[in-house]
Chain A
């Protein structure tokens, strides 16, 4: 079925003997390098957490220290109350979850069509889809703004939600690769049973595509949650702001309050972290599909 890497993982150099047990010194070096690297990597984030719990005075004097001497949880409650945090969170959720549904539906549909429905011109259309992947979104930024202006959708969430329902070349490509690897016999069996193509897609292929759907959804979540350019262009008023946009405007509202700023950043990052830990397995499994092979 699907190519999960369940075989013995390829040992890097030799396969005749347990390499790492033979070269203890090399193993130790490896661990040290990894540990040091991890420390360097993770340090800024521990520091972010530590700073978010400090007071204003403590921020200037603590320097690089990550050990929290203060625990001002109050910073977090202030972060939530100093601006309409829940309203912004709701907007972020809306502009994340709804587009995920839209993207998954439209891209899986198109990907299936390119993989299984080989008709005349399907190759040409697919080539166009791929070519669009190279298109920078910014070429269409200004005229899309005018389009939404004419539609009267400026200062609403719609410009951030609607385009998702019309497919995105990268994910069409992903789904297409995924569906292409599934056996063709499934389709033949369904057709013999009298299913139309849509039913074949909806009842047979899509349920089997669950790993890909989950992986794609998680990737999409990270992307949409942190999206900044879209809201920066389309959102003017307070009630439709998303969290990243609010964070960018933070200093005009709260002045220079670094611990509060850090606390807000932590809160905004939290959903992605939680999602990561909850869905780790799916991410690593699903990555196999994004490998481009």
Chain B
């Protein structure tokens, strides 16, 4: 029929037009919120309790500034990927939580900020959020790590309690873990909790990256030695492997007396441990140089309108430097992070009775080692970690760490160079 002949070319034209229309134009951005309004949106990650803190801070800001609305957006997983996708699509929030380790990758999309280092407890905190000499996020929480110890187990084994202020050395820790481990099978008591390789690498004085982020260093001598340290502790069954704890809750193990020490103890872990009255426990510093301290900041999108920018600046200032907000980091008996202003330090320490020694957090905050910031950090370190857990005994593999780690480090360095 003639009609079909007429319509076919039209259809072809339609297809071509559609093809051009879907074309690969870079996203032209406009940040959330309809034009002219001063309301802002705020993205963050975290567990239930962490989200509760951030929502409380947002609510406190709204109260202090009536008429302004802060819409919260809790991204529960793949935070960095989601942020990047939203930036590409122009749907990013006005204010975004960012960790110091990921800052480098996102700094080009953030607005520069004015940060006064003097307001915070130690200079490490504000410098963690600098990129190429400028500030791109306002710090508002730090996450130092400490170690919980089961006082009853130590006393029963006749081992002297570690100092509340001076860290043990790694060798001392290994000896203690050996003394405290006993038992068999499903009832075994471990001297140490599952060992987080990256943490212990920092404790040993090493790190994943070198100071100017040009090379991955976990394949160096310190890296391999620390990996061997972890593997040995697991082999001798002084610490559970990742398979042992898969699907298990280590806090519950600690409460059941199966762990003599628990080393990856962050401010949010307080909630899980607060309900543990038996066995008696207290906090001490992490051995060696301590675990890397994460500093979280609030960044402002570069594409915010001027009204939103104003509100956003007030909000980040409020969250990072005002006691009202900093106190809200602590909700009930859990804390998203340690407050970074001196005025709020007692708030955290008072959450639990004095013998729990929450002051260990304050010490850790003052001495905390801050990691180097690298673009696409989550991806690069994720790939490295996956390699480690696949191939070596750090995870479920069997290969020799001395051979695997340098190989992975080389791959990691290549990925760094691709920035």
Measured CB to CB, the residues of A under 8 A from B are 56-57, 59-61, 82-83, 119-121, 143, 146-147, 149-150, 152, 154-155, 236-239, 241, 246, 248-249, 252-258
Which residues of chain A are within 8 angstroms of B76 by Cβ–Cβ distance? Answer: 83, 238, 241, 246, 249, 252-253
- Judge whether B86 and A57 touch: CB under 8 Å: no
- Judge whether B22 and A143 touch: CB under 8 Å: yes
Q: Nearest A residue to B51 by beta-carbon distance?
A: A253
> Can you list 28 A-B pairs with a CB-CB distance of less than 8 A?
A56-B252, A57-B252, A60-B186, A61-B186, A82-B48, A119-B1, A121-B4, A143-B24, A146-B22, A146-B24, A147-B22, A149-B27, A152-B89, A152-B90, A154-B85, A154-B88, A154-B89, A155-B86, A155-B89, A236-B85, A237-B43, A237-B82, A237-B86, A238-B75, A249-B77, A253-B48, A254-B47, A256-B247
Main secondary structure of the interface of A (DSSP, over half): helix
Decide yes or no whether B73 CB sits under 8 A from chain A. yes
- Judge whether A150 and B22 touch: CB under 8 Å: yes
Which residues of chain A are within 8 angstroms of B77 by Cβ–Cβ distance? Answer: 248-249, 252-253
Decide yes or no whether B256 CB sits under 8 A from chain A. yes
CB distance from A129 to the nearest CB of B (A): 14
Q: Nearest B residue to A256 by beta-carbon distance?
A: B249
Decide yes or no whether B74 CB sits under 8 A from chain A. yes
- Judge whether B248 and A60 touch: CB under 8 Å: yes
Measured CB to CB, the residues of B under 8 A from A are 1, 4, 8, 21-25, 27, 43, 45, 47-48, 73-78, 82-83, 85-86, 88-91, 186, 245, 247-249, 252, 256
Q: Nearest A residue to B18 by beta-carbon distance?
A: A147
Main secondary structure of the interface of B (DSSP, over half): loop
CB distance from B76 to the nearest CB of A (A): 4
Q: Nearest A residue to B77 by beta-carbon distance?
A: A249
- Which residue, of B75, B78, B89, has the highest number of chain A Cβ atoms within 10 A? B89
Whether A255 contacts B47 in the complex (CB less than 8 A), given A57-B252, A237-B73, A249-B76, comes out as yes
CB distance from B11 to the nearest CB of A (A): 10
- Judge whether B86 and A119 touch: CB under 8 Å: no
Whether A239 contacts B249 in the complex (CB less than 8 A), given A150-B25, A252-B47, comes out as no
A236 partner, pick from B22, B91, B186, B256, beta carbons under 8 A: B91
CB distance from B48 to the nearest CB of A (A): 6
Q: Nearest B residue to A258 by beta-carbon distance?
A: B247
A83→B73 CA distance, assembly (Å): 13
- Judge whether B73 and A238 touch: CB under 8 Å: yes
A248→B75 CA distance, assembly (Å): 13
CB distance from B258 to the nearest CB of A (A): 10
A254→B74 CA distance, assembly (Å): 14
A61→B252 CA distance, assembly (Å): 13
Which residues of chain A are within 8 angstroms of B247 by Cβ–Cβ distance? Answer: 59, 256, 258
- Judge whether A120 and B1 touch: CB under 8 Å: yes
Which residues of chain B are within 8 angstroms of A154 by Cβ–Cβ distance? Answer: 85-86, 88-89, 91
- Judge whether B22 and A120 touch: CB under 8 Å: no
Which residues of chain B are within 8 angstroms of A246 by Cβ–Cβ distance? Answer: 76
CB distance from A55 to the nearest CB of B (A): 9
A147→B47 CA distance, assembly (Å): 33
A283→B306 CA distance, assembly (Å): 58
A75→B75 CA distance, assembly (Å): 23
Q: Nearest B residue to A143 by beta-carbon distance?
A: B22
A141→B245 CA distance, assembly (Å): 37
A286→B279 CA distance, assembly (Å): 61
- Judge whether A236 and B90 touch: CB under 8 Å: no
Q: Nearest A residue to B50 by beta-carbon distance?
A: A253
A253→B245 CA distance, assembly (Å): 18
Q: Nearest A residue to B251 by beta-carbon distance?
A: A255
Which residues of chain A are within 8 angstroms of B47 by Cβ–Cβ distance? Answer: 252-255
CB distance from B21 to the nearest CB of A (A): 8
A98→B43 CA distance, assembly (Å): 29
CB distance from A60 to the nearest CB of B (A): 6
Q: Nearest B residue to A57 by beta-carbon distance?
A: B252
A121→B43 CA distance, assembly (Å): 52
Which residues of chain A are within 8 angstroms of B75 by Cβ–Cβ distance? Answer: 236-238
A257→B272 CA distance, assembly (Å): 12
- Judge whether B8 and A121 touch: CB under 8 Å: yes
A253→B78 CA distance, assembly (Å): 11
- Judge whether A239 and B90 touch: CB under 8 Å: no
Which residues of chain B are within 8 angstroms of A61 by Cβ–Cβ distance? Answer: 186
Q: Nearest A residue to B19 by beta-carbon distance?
A: A143
CB distance from B245 to the nearest CB of A (A): 8
CB distance from B98 to the nearest CB of A (A): 15
Whether A239 contacts B73 in the complex (CB less than 8 A), given A56-B249, A59-B247, A149-B27, comes out as yes
Contacts A154-B85, A253-B77 known; 8 new A-B pairs at CB < 8 A: A61-B186, A121-B4, A150-B21, A150-B27, A237-B86, A252-B47, A254-B47, A256-B249
Q: Nearest B residue to A238 by beta-carbon distance?
A: B74
Which residues of chain A are within 8 angstroms of B73 by Cβ–Cβ distance? Answer: 237-239
Which residues of chain A are within 8 angstroms of B21 by Cβ–Cβ distance? Answer: 150
- Judge whether A149 and B248 touch: CB under 8 Å: no
